[in-house]
Chains A and B, each alone.
Chain A
Amino acid sequence: MCGIFGVMDKRRQLMDGSSIRQALSMMNERGSGEGAGYVAYGIYPDYRDCYALHVLLDNTCESKAVVDATLGQWGAIEHDEAIPTYDQPNLRKTCTPWRYFFKPDATLAPGSASPEKDIITNLVMQINAAPNGAEIISSGKNVGVFKASGWPEDVADYYRIQDYEGYIWLAHNRYATSSPEKWERPDPFNLHDWSVVENGKTTTYGTNRRYVESFGYQCSMSTDSEVIACLIDLLVRRHGLDINLAIRALAPPFWEDIDRMPEAEQKLNRALRFAYGSATMNGPFTVVAANPDMMVGFTDRGKLRPMVVGECGDRLYIASEEAAIRAMEPGVESITRPAAGEPVIGRVAP
């Protein structure tokens, strides 16, 4: 189960979180009240040049000291503070959400095409893999993840999600199958630019994880979205694939379809499947992913999980259910349900 929701404003008009909360709660019957999360792009304009690190700390002494020390090694902390939270009767607080605004020292990753992001990637993996009571749940510029164990409304109210304004929002209503008590477990997962929400459970977690780990990523959360975020980062940032091709690599056409394509296209698709066989995701999933410039949605090639797309003015919506879109945009102009293998790619205006 699980319900997912994404909305993007092509002109970067900001939306506050209250309507996202409402949309997500329309899909409560897809969740189990044990996890929900939100991610928004554009929420930290004052620190737009810093990497915003959202961290869940077991305690604000030892765990925080580890994070402080690690960040100190890799760059400079411009500012840090507890993320404002407001206790909710139905949320059992198990950690303290904290945020850092951080500038990595690019000279520490010589020879890299994107040194800052390499540093952030390593930093996140290093801190999350170690048993240090700290989990970095988001790490991009001008973006932040807010998540906890509970119903979407309680999680939203706990963070006062309505106080944040973003031009892209993704949200996730979790149907827990393991570790319901862990606040880091619900989607979204974020790795600097990319955030991912998934409805589904791939049957290739092991293959995909081993694949990204052979490129130096470390997955510590045993959950699909974490691996998907790494896969997209690898394919798009490090291998330079266009998002279209990256999605095609993750959910490729069947061989019999490839056999019928024109020569050049056949060659391209065969090459993608050759190169990225271990990156291919199998099993039922709908994924909505975003980075600062786009929001994309795609499904497994059998489309075993729903994906509804809505458009209204400058807004693009992708959700598990139409009701969620209508909750936010009652007058939505177009509702479509793309066929299996048809990704949805929306870009913000440059």
Chain B
Amino acid sequence: MSSNFGSMPLRYRVAIDREQCMECGRCIDNCSYGVFRRDGDRILINSRNCTACHRCLTYCPRDAIMLQEHPCDYRNHPVWTREVRESIYNQARTGKIILAGMGSVSKLPIIFDHLMLDACQVTTPPTDPLREPVELRTYLGKKPSKLDFRQRSNGDVELSTELTPNLMLETPIMLGHMSYGALSLNAHVAMARAAKETGTFMGTGEGGLHPGLYPYQDRMIVQVASGRFGVNVDYLERGAAIELKLGQGAKPGIGGHLPGEKVSADVSRTRMIPQGSDAISPAPHHDIYGIEDLPQLVNSVKEATERKKPIFAKIAAVNGNAENVAAVARSGVDAIAIDGFRGGTGAAPRVFRDHVGIPIEVAIATADRELRKQGLRNEVSLIACGSIRESTDVVKAIALGADAVYIATAALAAMGCRVCGNCYQGLCPWGIATQRQDLVDRLNPDVASKQVANLIHAWTLEITELIGAAGINSIESLRGNRDRLRGYMLDEGLLEILDVKSVGA
């Protein structure tokens, strides 16, 4: 049945400066969405297919391509915005839930941008990282809250507290969970190499572990999600740590979704699902219907791996965050990753992505505070994730109480991703979020891993400078050190929740 909507206003308009164009056809080759085609020696354009992935712009030798977003205005209306109207048209036509890629696009203020960092002036000297050590080494996992000693026969005292396994990171930045399937093998290999090179870890996401990643398995945190894709004891044993995915910030309350187009032969083998089938994870883990079930799952995973590996849990940041975190902290896990509502995703229902959940800044602050209040802070490490965009976000997240962060979209961007938000189409022209071999081949793992490693390295240097300037020479002295933050134009209620003073105070 057709609709009366006809042609909707264009999202992007692509134009070619014909003076400049030399008709080389590189744009045609590069665009996987079919924007360009050739008619004789003229390049024709179908702007409707464009996703603003910028691949053509990058490869045009003449800088001849121009791209404009929203070339056609709607009547301006503050309530009936373009987005609202377009969603209605879309749903009136299809009758379906609207899927969207990447993180939230809502125009809510970003709290990180309203937090200012501190620096030393006269009462304390800044630490100069070029001349003095500044330690970013971070251990993730359970820590004893007090130590026990025993007296040896010769009178020496000896530590009797046994330390539980921790992950040692050279920098508090980890690469977050994005599955093989959602991402290409080359993207995974690139990130795994970068993790190894920079002394950090990478999450596998819920898609299993491809044999191509076995060489980096000591740098991988293998994920167990509600779909249990790719999970068997071999998988668990290969990881440096195991993460139980209980929720995701981009879509709290629902499970992962991998469109069938992306389930290639290799992905199907790794995930242990039929080729071409949609992989839709259930909303809950069907063995966790209450918090008391979680310790059982934690324990069985621990037992399966002889208690040698730290177990993480990842939850989405929602209203009852402090309570959720305290509950999970009692379940025996070693670290909790909290995913804020701006977290990215390959595909999520638009209404979830833009409306469900709370900001990571608030979630980390309330989690840290609650754990301290309940005397549980040493039981778990806290990992902040969901829109960590730059080194200052890392510093602010740690000052609010995190031990480390996961970055994901930023790592993709380091490999070329333009955050076009069309990952679910499986046609990523950068070879990142696709399984089409010709596209995958575009991403050279050697080059991409260097770029990701460069990003982590650059942020690490910036963090060192930032905390050095604040007179701090060890990252654990930044953790929960909210006194080194000030809120700029944040309301009183929020300042109180963040436990941060206003600028000037």
Using a CB–CB cutoff of 8 Å, the interface residues on chain A facing chain B are 177, 200-207, 210-211, 213-215, 239-242, 245, 254-256, 264, 267-268, 270-275, 277-278, 280-284, 301-302, 304
Interface residue B163 (Cβ < 8 Å from any Cβ of A):
yes
Chain B residues 461-483 with CB under 8 Å of chain A are 470-474, 476-483
CB distance from B395 to the nearest CB of A (A): 13
Stretch of B119-127, B299-307, B422-430, B443-451 contacting A (4+ beta carbons < 8 Å): B119-127
A214 and B163 within 8 A (CB):
no
Interface residue B133 (Cβ < 8 Å from any Cβ of A):
yes
Chain B residues 85-128 with CB under 8 Å of chain A are 120, 123-125, 127
B158 and A207 within 8 A (CB):
no
State which of A200, A271, A284 has its C-beta within 8 Å of the C-beta of B159: A271
Interface string of B123-167 (1 = CB under 8 A from A): 111010000110101010001111101000000011101010010
Given A203-B470, A302-B132, 7 extra CB contacts under 8 A: A201-B123, A205-B483, A206-B483, A271-B144, A274-B144, A280-B474, A281-B477
Complex: A244 Cα to B90 Cα, angstroms: 70
Complex: A280 Cα to B477 Cα, angstroms: 7
Judged by DSSP, the binding face of B is loop
B163 and A210 within 8 A (CB):
no
Interface residue B324 (Cβ < 8 Å from any Cβ of A):
no
Complex: A162 Cα to B478 Cα, angstroms: 44
B147 and A275 within 8 A (CB):
yes
Residues of B within 8 A of A274 (CB): 139, 143-144, 163, 166, 378
Residues of B within 8 A of A280 (CB): 474, 476-477
State which of B135, B159, B473 has its C-beta within 8 Å of the C-beta of A268: B159
Interface residue B372 (Cβ < 8 Å from any Cβ of A):
yes
A275 and B124 within 8 A (CB):
no
**Residue with the greatest number of chain B CB neighbours at <10 A, chosen from A211, A271, A282:** A282
A264 and B158 within 8 A (CB):
yes
CB distance from A40 to the nearest CB of B (A): 29
Interface residue B373 (Cβ < 8 Å from any Cβ of A):
yes
State which of A207, A270, A302 has its C-beta within 8 Å of the C-beta of B480: A207
Residues of B within 8 A of A284 (CB): 124-125, 471
State which of B120, B132, B157, B479 has its C-beta within 8 Å of the C-beta of A278: B479
Q: Which residue of B lies closest to A216 (CB)?
A: B375
Q: Which residue of B lies closest to A207 (CB)?
A: B481
CB distance from B431 to the nearest CB of A (A): 38
Residues of chain B at interface, number, CB under 8 A: 41
Residues of B within 8 A of A275 (CB): 143-147, 161, 378
Complex: A281 Cα to B473 Cα, angstroms: 10
22 contacts between A and B (CB under 8 A): A201-B124, A203-B470, A204-B477, A206-B483, A207-B480, A210-B480, A254-B135, A255-B137, A268-B159, A270-B163, A271-B163, A273-B476, A274-B139, A274-B166, A275-B143, A275-B147, A275-B378, A277-B479, A278-B377, A280-B474, A282-B474, A284-B124
CB distance from B379 to the nearest CB of A (A): 12
Interface residue B193 (Cβ < 8 Å from any Cβ of A):
no
Using a CB–CB cutoff of 8 Å, the interface residues on chain B facing chain A are 120, 123-125, 127, 132-133, 135, 137, 139, 143-147, 149, 157-159, 161, 163, 166, 372-373, 375, 377-378, 470-474, 476-484
CB distance from B448 to the nearest CB of A (A): 30
A302 and B127 within 8 A (CB):
yes
Complex: A254 Cα to B137 Cα, angstroms: 10
**Residue with the greatest number of chain B CB neighbours at <10 A, chosen from A207, A215, A241:** A207
**Residue with the greatest number of chain A CB neighbours at <10 A, chosen from B133, B372, B476, B482:** B476
CB distance from A251 to the nearest CB of B (A): 11
Residues of A within 8 A of B474 (CB): 280, 282
A203 and B133 within 8 A (CB):
no
Residues of B within 8 A of A201 (CB): 123-124
State which of A214, A240, A245, A283 has its C-beta within 8 Å of the C-beta of B377: A214
Q: Which residue of B lies closest to A257 (CB)?
A: B133
Complex: A2 Cα to B69 Cα, angstroms: 61
Q: Which residue of A lies closest to B123 (CB)?
A: A201
A271 and B471 within 8 A (CB):
no
**Residue with the greatest number of chain B CB neighbours at <10 A, chosen from A203, A211, A272:** A203
Residues of B within 8 A of A255 (CB): 135, 137
Complex: A273 Cα to B133 Cα, angstroms: 16
State which of A206, A256, A277 has its C-beta within 8 Å of the C-beta of B482: A206
CB distance from A282 to the nearest CB of B (A): 4
Residues of A within 8 A of B145 (CB): 275
A204 and B472 within 8 A (CB):
yes
A277 and B143 within 8 A (CB):
yes
A242 and B157 within 8 A (CB):
yes
A204 and B163 within 8 A (CB):
no
CB distance from A258 to the nearest CB of B (A): 10
Q: Which residue of B lies closest to A242 (CB)?
A: B157
CB distance from A79 to the nearest CB of B (A): 38
A283 and B133 within 8 A (CB):
no
Complex: A200 Cα to B123 Cα, angstroms: 8
B133 and A206 within 8 A (CB):
no
B476 and A271 within 8 A (CB):
no
Residues of B within 8 A of A245 (CB): 147
State which of A213, A242, A282 has its C-beta within 8 Å of the C-beta of B477: A282
A203 and B471 within 8 A (CB):
yes
Complex: A203 Cα to B377 Cα, angstroms: 21
B480 and A278 within 8 A (CB):
yes
Q: Which residue of A lies closest to B485 (CB)?
A: A206
Residues of B within 8 A of A177 (CB): 123
CB distance from A5 to the nearest CB of B (A): 21
Q: Which residue of B lies closest to A213 (CB)?
A: B372
Residues of B within 8 A of A203 (CB): 120, 124, 470-472, 477, 481, 484
Q: Which residue of A lies closest to B144 (CB)?
A: A275
Residues of B within 8 A of A213 (CB): 372
CB distance from A114 to the nearest CB of B (A): 16
B163 and A239 within 8 A (CB):
no
Complex: A240 Cα to B147 Cα, angstroms: 9
Complex: A206 Cα to B372 Cα, angstroms: 13
Complex: A283 Cα to B478 Cα, angstroms: 11
A206 and B480 within 8 A (CB):
yes
Given the known inter-chain contacts A207-B479, A254-B135, A275-B378, please indicate yes or no for A239 contacting B373, CB distance below 8 A: no
Residues of B within 8 A of A239 (CB): 146-147
Complex: A78 Cα to B385 Cα, angstroms: 58
**Residue with the greatest number of chain A CB neighbours at <10 A, chosen from B139, B145, B147, B375:** B147
Residues of A within 8 A of B479 (CB): 207, 277-278
Residues of B within 8 A of A215 (CB): 375
Residues of B within 8 A of A206 (CB): 480-484
Complex: A14 Cα to B484 Cα, angstroms: 44
State which of B125, B149, B375 has its C-beta within 8 Å of the C-beta of A304: B125
Complex: A267 Cα to B166 Cα, angstroms: 13
State which of B147, B157, B166 has its C-beta within 8 Å of the C-beta of A272: B147
State which of A200, A277, A302 has its C-beta within 8 Å of the C-beta of B476: A277
Residues of A within 8 A of B159 (CB): 264, 267-268, 271
CB distance from A259 to the nearest CB of B (A): 10
**Residue with the greatest number of chain B CB neighbours at <10 A, chosen from A210, A239, A271, A301:** A210
CB distance from B2 to the nearest CB of A (A): 63
Q: Which residue of B lies closest to A215 (CB)?
A: B375
